[in-house]
Amino acid sequence: MLVKPQVVRVAVGTAGLVWSLLSATAAVPVIYCTDLFHPPDDPDDHFDLATVFALRQVELKAIILDQGLKQLRRPGAIPLSQLNHCTGRAIPWAIGLAHPLKHPTDPALDQPTEFQAGVKLILDSLRAATGQVMVATLGSVRDLVAAFNREPELCRKKIGRVLAFIGEASEPSFQEYNVSLDPQAYVGLMRSGLPVWWVPCFDGGLWQNRGHASFWRAPHRELLQGVAPQLWQYFIYALERETNDPIRFLSQPVDLQRKERLLAGQRNLWCAAVLAALAWPANKTATELFEFEPVDVVVTDNGLVRYSFGPGSRRVWRFKVRDPARYGPGMTAATARLLEQLAIRKGAPSGAPAGQDRGGF
C-alpha cells in the first residue's frame, strides 16, 4: 500500500514558481525513454531532451530510443549525439523493441535480437544502481514494461518513480497517441503496481486540458531567448530537417534568417520542465503550478482507464494543474530558464555570429 507523502508547497511569484519547479536536494539517477527521431515526428522531443540534459539534479544513466524499427530509418541518436557533444557527456543509449507487445505481460523475448538492447540497458542499469532509479517515459512504455515482465522483482526494488507521459485523463472515446503506439504496454504499466506518476497528455480529448493533463503551448521566442549558440544550431538542425554532419553543424555560424524562422514558431509541450519532478524528494508532490495526487484506477484490456477502487485496481499518482491561469506561462518560464542554463562544455565550438557570445537578443 502506498502512503501519501507530505505535500510541500513553495512560494509564489515568477522567480518562486521557477525555483519551486527546479529545486531538488541532490542529483538522482534517471533512465530516460523517448520517442526521439531525426527528422522529428514532433520537435517537442528535442526540447524535452535538452531540458533533461539541463537538469543539474538529474544524473542520466541510460537513454532508450523508443520504437526500434523506426529508429533505424530516423535515428534519434543524431540529436542525442549533438547534446552529448555539446555537454561533454557520453550517456549510454540503445534503441528499443521493434514491435508492440502482444499482451500486458509479454516479455518480448521473441522480438529480433537487434532490438533487445533497450530492454537490456534498462535492466543492466537497474542492477548496477546502488539505490533507486527514476524512470521517465516519453512515448510508448514498451521497453520499460518488457523489462518489468522479465524481472519484476528487480524493477519493484530499484525503480523509485515512473514519470509516464501518456494517456487521456477523462474522455473514454479518445485514444491518446502514445497509448496507440502500444496499447498492451500501457495496460501493463498501469496494472504493474510500480510507483507510477501518471502525466496524461490530454484531458477531455485532443488538444484539451481540463486540469489533469500537462499539455501547454509555448512561443519559441520565449523558450529560446537566452540559449547558447550551439543550442540554436541544435534546434535549427531538427526543425529544418537538416542532413549535413550533425556535429559539424553545431559549430557553424547561426544563420539569422533560420533563427528568425525558429523564433516565429510555437511548440506544443507536455514534458520539458515537468521533468524536474524526477528529482523531487520523496516528501514533495506539489508546486504552486501543479501537483500529483493519488487516484485508484482500473484499466480495461483495451487501455481504457476508469477511476475505481476495488478488485484489480491500482493506485497511481496523477498529474493535476493547480493554477490554470499561470500554468502555461510558468512552465514556459521554467523551461526557458533550464535551456538557458544548459551547461555547454568548455571549449565546445561556438556557432555564434562574429562578436556575439550568446544566442539571445
- Of 19-33, 156-170, 302-316, 329-343, minimum mean pLDDT range: 19-33
Mean pLDDT of 4-23: 46
- Of 243-257, 286-300, 315-329, 339-353, minimum mean pLDDT range: 339-353
Cβ contact 173:202 at 8 Å? no
348 pLDDT more than 70:
no
Supply angle C-alpha 189, 126, 187, rounded to 5. 5
Instruction: For the chain, give the longest Cα–Cα distance.
Output: 66
pLDDT at res. 16: 58
3 pLDDT more than 70:
no
Helix (H), strand (E), coil (C) string for 290-320: EEEEEEEEEECCCCCEEECCCCCCEEEEEEE
Mean pLDDT of 47-55: 98
Please count the other Cβ atoms lying within 10 Å of the Cβ belonging to residue 285.
21
Mean pLDDT of 351-360: 36
Q: What is the mean pLDDT of the chain?
A: 91
Mean pLDDT of 64-82: 98
pLDDT per residue as tens digits for the range 199-214: 999 999 999 999 999 9
- Of 12-16, 78-82, 102-106, 175-179, minimum mean pLDDT range: 12-16
Instruction: Indicate the domain borders of the chain.
Output: 14-340
2 pLDDT more than 90:
no
- Of 105-119, 151-165, 242-256, 303-317, minimum mean pLDDT range: 303-317
pLDDT per residue as tens digits for the range 246-278: 999 999 999 999 999 999 999 999 999 999 999
pLDDT per residue as tens digits for the range 125-137: 999 999 999 999 9
pLDDT at res. 27: 87
pLDDT band (50, 70, 90) for residue 346: low
Cβ contact 319:198 at 8 Å? yes
Residue type, 9: R
157 pLDDT more than 80:
yes
pLDDT at res. 353: 43
3-state helix, strand, coil in the chain (%, to 5): 40, 20, 45
* Among 223, 222, 219, 228, residue whose Cα is nearest residue 342: 228
Architecture of domain 14-340: Alpha-Beta Complex (3.90)
pLDDT at res. 343: 87
* Among 334, 347, 250, residue whose Cα is nearest residue 18: 334
* Among 267, 236, 199, residue whose Cα is nearest residue 44: 267
pLDDT at res. 359: 28
d(C-alpha 150, C-alpha 107), whole Å:
5
Please count the other Cβ atoms lying within 10 Å of the Cβ belonging to residue 114.
11
Report the relative pairing of strands 266-269 and 216-219 from DSSP bridges: antiparallel
CB-based burial, 225-234: b 16+ in 10 Å, e otherwise = bbbbbbbbbb
Q: Compute the Cα dihedral for 298, 188, 32, 96 and give only its sign.
A: negative
Q: How far is CA 24 from CA 55, 281, 310, 342, in A?
A: 10, 7, 35, 17
